[in-house]
Chain A
Amino acid sequence: MSRWRTASGGRIDRTRALAFRFDGVRYEGLAGDTLASALLANGVHLVGRSFKYHRPRGIVTAGAEEPSALVAVRRDGARETPNLRATQVELYEGLDALSQNRWPSLARDVGRINDWLSPLFPAGFYYKTFMWPKSAWKSVYEPVIRRAAGLGVAPTEPDPDRYAQCYAHCDVLVVGAGPAGLAAALAAADQGARVMICDEQSEFGGSLLADRHATIDGASAAAWVARAVADLAAHPRVVCLTRTTAFGYFPHNLIGLAERLTDHLDAPAPQAARERLWQVRARSVVLATGAVERPLVFPGNDRPGVMLAGAARTYLNRYGVRVGDRVVLVTATDAGYQAAIDLRDAGVAVVGIADLRPTVSGELPAAARAAGIEVTESATVLGTSGNRRVAGITIARTTSAGTGGDRRTLACDAVLMSGGFTPSVHLFSQSRGKLRWSDDHQAFLPDRSAERERSAGACRGATDLAAAIADGLEAGAESAPTRTAAARRITARSPRSADRGYLGAVPLASDASQKSFVDWQHDVTIKDLAIATREGFRSIEHVKRFTTMGMATDQGKTSNLNALAIVARAIDAPIPSVGLTTFRMPYTPTTFGAFAGPSRGDLFDPVRRTPIHAWAAAAGAVFEDVGMWKRARYFPERGEDMHAAVARECRAVRSACGLFDASTLGKIEVVGPGAAEFLERLYVNSWANLGVGRCRYGILCREDGFIYDDGVIARLAADRFHVTTTTGGAPRVLAMMEDYRQTEWPDLEVWLTSTTEQWAVIAVQGPDAREVLRGCVEGIDLDAAALPHMSVAAARICGIEGLVMRVSFSGELGYELNVPADHGLGVWKAVHAAGAAHGITCYGTETMHVLRAEKGYIIVGQDTDGTVTPDDAGLSWAVGRKKPDFVGRRSLQRQSMQAPDRKQLVGLRPRDGRTLLDEGAQVAERPDQRPPMRLVGHVTSSYQSAVLGVPIALAMVAGGRARLGQTLYIPMPGGDVEVEVVSPVFYDPKGERINA
């Protein structure tokens, strides 16, 4: 047992020694230790280097507010986590921790030079220099700054761990399981409420875990906590979550919790989730988040060994660790005395107590004096000594003349400080509750709530144990939905303490040569704050941004209020008028992986596959992502690249028959007496005159008159339309339809149903399509007269009831067979078999694109880009001229929509008959231009046409339809490509094939 470990007491398991390493050195701790307590038990105080000056730093606190002791913990190469607070890392067998921001070693860090040069690096120095020569910023200054900055090292391998997420609802969520939180949870549970209670620590109890003196309901604090926890655990309607941080408070009482599941285990199960993110919707929230002890701002206050008094007490009483052999207490609270007394009782020499207050009375100071500890009133600190650990402290008495009298240097190996308690109002403030400044408490306290929320205990100023518990009981009972049971009573007793505390720098600090730190992690000193105010940064937000005060990983939990007081004093303004920086989530840093949760790999976004997907994959198809869908892009045969495969597929469709999986097309069934009128108002086309059994190509515009989506719409019955959309457009078209149905035209009786996944759609296209289908389709006549182009009929398809739509996106005789999705694969196989004699060929989206481009059919989103009207796309024939209105009609009448130089869809052919144009390439009127060029359009689609044997392209060109026959130029890096403007319909302009 190390000499700093007490012989008995504490909550560690003295029978279970745990080996761990810090910077490669092997140490031993005990089960129940944190890394911080285990290091202190081994006499290790130097654990890190500060961000800017690389000063040696130790352990300041015992909790989540730790500004200083940041380490990396490594399990293996991919599981290294930087920037963890040693005060929160639970020890496990084999734990491997590393210090950060030092080179070559923690003890000898060359970055320390920054500290010696620190006069050159005051707050905001980088705004004033590094400007000459200009090029050096990127090549020299910034790389150097970046290397110096940062703290830990990010992992370089993908994180193999899993993260879980879940949702929960409860009547009362209690955040914090200290005395007030436990009381609130018990009181709410008494009333039958569904309660959730969470605490960031490994066990419930909060401050009580380190309290040797309090008695609650006649028992010790520890015994009462054990009983309360047992009561809650046994309660069927209570959920208890340890190691769970409430990190964010979102609108309508949605609280985000991050639960750490495996970081404390030496050998987590391989599939166990590392963390779990909870989204809890609570009817009421009780915030019992406690208070954080504040450091004192004095010269040399950052040496390892200088720590909060409450932390020293926690290390002693909870972990059985003495933080030193000879300690000095610097305090402005009575609570600090408790630490001194406890340490003295544990055999530590308390060399002296320096109290900033002019006169000190009360129970605890009296006890200290009675124990023979010397107390200096009206004290201040002039400096400390010691290199990698504090070795002495110089204190003095402030006199009325403002000078330090009775100057004395006390040798010591630890300095405890207690500057008062800052209520943790982070979550309250995140909830948009209003804070008010309390002169009595010298703190911001919760005032008006914005949500159904109630703060209880120390976080609203009730620091006395009995008051905190009473407040918690009241909050819990109040928050329960019903109050039926009698109110619970708990009696508590602990030594009374007066803890108004002290804000800002201690007297005479600004005269000292040593730095007085306000923000440990970011190395912000009182001088930096003085420079900021001198340079006119007076709003606390400006001070924060200029000095980076409070912007470190602790987000200023221990520093903000001191900084505020120092600035207020500097500009001679009351603290509330200087303002308070905004509290933002997360309360403490929260793992990215927990936010992402299971959303990774295939679960990142659901993959949508058609019923024919597996068949296509087996046939060797290459897929592309379209929206969430995987679509077969082409079906290469042996040795074929995409170009060869597509050429073969194209020829097959043009000469015989092709088979295409169109199941991804969006499908919406529009049904009801108002269905025709609904489409009439929404789409640009006329629908009233569309006969049952007929189809029509529909165009949907946005209100701005630009094409939003398109697709064939079939009228299945007078009151029933089968609307198809683009593959990617289905969700937004349905959303737009619902928007109009619900908000614009609630008078129409119409119902919308997404049927995209109900139907498998199998396109059979090509001159032999009819012959192929003759053996597959029963119950209808496939002849052109009976089932002409753009018609639809119910039929039995390979024995399955479905719809045959005679439509074509290829320009050939074509059918689209709609069958229930479950039968899609069977029908596909049957048609494929039936077509074998005709040389039926499967084709993918790439061939589909070539075929439609040969016909001049647009793809919304490729040939259009949200700035294209129906007329621009050559589709004005589709617009119902006689309709009184449709979405976008008014916009289409605007002046610029009539302009003759609008970009219009045209075809382009390279003059050389060879050059395949780049999609996205620009179009110019004049050749040989240099940037900035005058441009008249761009290429939207470009393919090698197998049937024509030449490259073809579609383009949007200003005034394009008036340019047919003109020569235009495609400026490419290697020179211009000459093109001829032609009709966008390259193949079968009369449409004889489609109507065959």
Chain B
Amino acid sequence: MGNHLLEVKGVDVLYGDVQVIWDVSIHVEEGTIVALVGANGAGKTTLLKTISGIIHAKRGEILFSGKSLTRLKPQEVVDIGISHVPEGRRLFSNLTVLENLKLGAYPSRARPLFAESLERAFSLFPVLKARKGQKAGSLSGGERQMLAIARAIMAHPDILMLDEPSLGLSPIFVKTIFELIYALNKQKVTILLVEQNIHQALKIAYQAYVLKTGKIAISGGGDELLADPEVQKAYIGERWSKR
């Protein structure tokens, strides 16, 4: 076994009295793309929120480079190198594109690297440079998703967690976003990806987990799951038959 960059061990998460995550364990190797897939309400978003400290696990442990972050607050988690692009982008829409990016570099680990990060963000997303003085709220859906990702990488994360980055985007933008995720990964950013676009996600994932009602149902390599008849029947086939 290699060194796990991120390790979730036997985590239980409850909203009030309702348990939504049951004894989930996943691990993310450095430099890889790990996909977390499954139906709506399976607990994918909750798991990301638990890792980033927005909610805290009732039981279990989360380790990052061997250090526990189970009890850390979100502002502390981002400062040790885990950036979370939440579902729905959650941009500051009354702030300009540049202001959003500046806040992305708010963690102390990122501030000295601001100029360099901004250049990287603008070279990955040239459209943001052209729109840097515009309010984030005035961007198109695809541009918003780009800004959300750009803002997250301003923090110089070791791991980037993306929650449904393709949600609500046109097919062309979906393709662009997946290409970007791939490109970021080539720049040594480890990616933990939550997606409903299961086919696309499994295609780029090294390792994948299928969550079902708060439990890990199947796990394995991305290609492996893509070929798995059970996965095809339950998730991918279902999506195709809808079209």
- A-B complex is real: no
A-contacting residues of B (Cβ < 8 Å)? none
